[in-house]
Structure 1
Amino acid sequence: MAGVRSVRRRYGDILELHGGGPSTLNGLVFGFLEEDHGEESPESRFGSGAGEDYDYGEEEEEESCDVEESKAFWEEQIKLLQGTICRTNSVESKIRQATKEALKETVMMISQCACLRSTVGGVCRNCLRREVCNRLINIGYDCAICKSKWRSSSSIPSGEHTYLEVVDRSSSKRREMRVVIELNFRAEFEMARASEDYNRLISRLPEVFVGKAERLGALIKILCSAAKKCMKEKNMHLGPWRKHKYMQAKWLGTCERSTPAPLTVGYSGRPAKPKASMLTFDLLEAMSMPGLRPTAVEVV
């Protein structure tokens, strides 16, 4: 039979974004591409004698080169990622330690969210962000909740994101240093259908990121390049919310700073401990022991 049937090719891209954040985009994105070449002879498509002198060794050599190239790429990305994360200055280290202590204290003390939402672990992300911000403010840091918003363009959709920021003005260079605090950093780069190489790279990210904006920008560049490579190797389309420009808009674009209001009394979910003084100590102690009479205290 002369000629061959036209081949219809369909490419389906299934992308899923990690849920929970302010900028969550859920759903499936499908792409279809149809081609119709009509009937044509093998000679017109492949030339005369097609397949007779085909060199299969050349194809195997190309596949081997692709594997080596991919391996070298991922090894390089891991080195770049580790080098960027390890580099830090004294200001970043101090804020990182303060944030770590604030998170630890918050998790230990809070048993019920201020917004009364039912959450795993007793506190939602918004209340956790507010509590950490307040604790950093109380120990002297210029910390604020930042909310970034950006409009849609030809390459990325619109969105918004919330994170913490500390502005340090103690530098001798008389230049403000922006230190970004992202409490859910690793999850921002996780992908549902990522390759093993990409997941191995992401696993090296800290769960909580604390670092200056310039360091964050370098990490975004590395991770977005890795995401693009991952999708290319899996023959999948890279979602617009995974692109470099979109990720930059989250933390490095224009934002509104705000200071959270103090949390309501009883936020910890435990009864408030009465304050003792020189005049009330004996009375409070006696009241806590049934059957004992209060001891008189002379006021001088």
Structure 2
Amino acid sequence: MDRQSSDDIMRFLDGMASSDDVLFGFLDEGNQSPEDFNLNGGSDTDDVDGNGNCTSEENKVFWQEQEQLLQGTLYRTSSIETKIRQATKEALKQVKSKGLHCVCLRPVAGGCRSCLRDEISRHLRDVAGYDCVTSKSKWRSSQDIPAGEHEYIEIIDRSDSKKGEMRVVIELSFRAEFEIAKCGEDYKRLISRLPEVYVGKTDRLRSLIKILCIAGKKCLRDNKMHMGPWRKHKYMQAKWLGTCERSNSLGAAVSETTEPENWVPRAKPRVSMLNYDGLLGSLSTGIGRHAAVTVV
């Protein structure tokens, strides 16, 4: 897949130092939280009837509810998420101060998205001391969605023996994953509430995906735009909540079993149809790849 130049990465790092609240978008544990909304009920967002017409008042209520759901989810953040978020901020600042050097087979001056992800992962593992890996999710095509793959950072936290193992996902271009060209003002305003960098537990991520996919479907329907299969709920879930390969710079990996909602079984890896025109460019294949094991 093609990679953009270093300009987007440098703009991202330049904006990071002065706008942490906007970049990460979460409020720490202990802040007053809005009402806890129920996100578990209702049908799958891919099966919601999209033929109904809403009045102006109904539209207003819908978008207000979605914004409240989104803000309520972002408010609820645990102490371990806050610590990892702070460590990620420090890692980004370190990359900004040292500069990013691309080690891919076809290097990009100033670094690429893949090398940025690897450098952040290395810092979180070697400096901050977290069990941090680079995870690559892969899924095959089905009647509903095309095949694809996605790469992100993941931390396995085992600090709380009572709660057991917890997965924390780090997505460096989270907002860009949900942006829609020529979207309406209501959807644009909702997306602006998202953090640029997502650092959080998988159950929080699952709730955010559901909120955003419902909103995205309504946005496209109201604007009489085609809904690409890569925008469906199942496709977005597969990016972060499905079967993946985990690897780190030491070549070590850990196996675990996950059974995410609406998961599509893994098959031969193929390139995603989704074109990234967001902040950090597309993924690349670098010389820094190492051994990985499949998580089933």
Q: TM-score normalised by the shorter chain: which range applies?
A: 0.5 to 0.7
1:108, CA displacement in angstroms? Answer: 1.4
- Contact map agreement 2:137 2:245 (CA 8 A) in 1: yes
Q: Give, as a single letter, the amino acid of the residue that structure 2 aligns with 1:178.
A: R
Q: Which residue of 1 aligns with 2:191?
A: 202
The answer to whether the 8 Å contact 1:133/1:260 transfers is no
The residue number in structure 2 matching 1:254 is: 243
2:107 alignment partner in structure 1: 117
Equivalent in the alignment of 1:128: 116
Deviation at 1:186, TM superposition (A): 0.5
Deviation at 1:20, TM superposition (A): 6.0
2:86 match: secondary structure? helix
Please give the TM-score of this superposition, normalised by the length of structure 2.
Answer: 0.64
* TM-fit CA distance, 1:89: 0.4
Structure 1 partner of 2:125: 137
Deviations 1:139-171 (A, max 9, x none): 210000000000101100100000000000111
Conservation of the 8 A alpha-carbon contact between 1:163 and 1:181: yes
Specify the alignment match of 1:187 in structure 2: 176
Rounded to whole Å, the distance in 1 between the matches of 2:179 and 2:186 is 12
- In the alignment, does 2:161 pair up with 1:172? yes
User: In the alignment, which of 136, 151, 162 is matched to residue 147 of structure 1?
Assistant: 136
**Alignment root-mean-square deviation, CA:** 2.1
Output the CA distance in 2 between the equivalents of 1:161 and 1:213.
Answer: 16
Largest Rg, 1 or 2: 1
SS in 2 for 1:118: coil
Report the Cα distance in structure 1 between the residues aligned to 2:3 and 2:112, rounded to whole angstroms.
10
Deviations 1:200-225 (A, max 9, x none): 11111111000000000000000000
Aligned-residue offset at 1:111: 4.9
Counterparts of 2:102 and 2:3, CA distance in 1: 16
Identity of aligned residues (%): 62
Amino acid at match of 2:61: A
Q: How does 1:1-300 map to 2 (within 5 A)?
A: 66-115=55-104, 117-119=107-109, 122-138=110-126, 139-260=128-249
Deviation at 1:69, TM superposition (A): 0.7
AA partner of residue 215 (structure 1): R
Q: 1:123 is aligned with what amino acid? A: G
Counterpart-to-counterpart distance in 1, 2:111 and 2:97:
11
- 3-state SS in 1 of match to 2:249: coil
* Post-superposition offset of 1:117: 2.9
Give the direction of change, closer, same or farther, for the CA distance of 1:20–1:218 in structure 2 (3 Å limit).
farther
The one-letter amino acid paired with 2:155 is V
Residue correspondences, number: 201
1:297 counterpart residue number: none
C-alpha displacement at 1:85, in angstroms? Answer: 0.8
Greater length-normalized contact order (CA 8 Å, ≥ 6 residues apart): 2
| Aligned partners of 2:95 and 2:119 also within 8 Å | yes
Q: Aligned partners of 1:246 and 1:173: how far apart in 2?
A: 33
Q: Which amino acid aligns with 2:103?
A: A
8 Å contact from structure 1 (residues 142, 167) kept in 2: yes
For 2:3 and 2:235, locate their aligned partners in 1 and report how far apart those are by CA, in whole Å. 18
Structure 2 alignment gaps of length 5 or more: 5-52, 252-296
Give the match for residue 265 of structure 1.
Answer: none
Distance 1:174 1:234, change over 3 A: closer
Alpha-carbon offset, residue 118 of structure 1: 3.1
TM-score, length basis structure 1: 0.64
Q: Hey, what's the Cα distance between the residues in 1 that align with 2:250 and 2:161?
A: 32
Cα distance in structure 2, aligned partners of 1:158 and 1:125: 21
Query: Which amino acid letter does the alignment assign opposite residue 231 of structure 1?
Result: L
Q: Is the 8 A contact 2:230 2:236 kept in 1?
A: yes
Aligned-pair CA distance for 1:172: 3.2
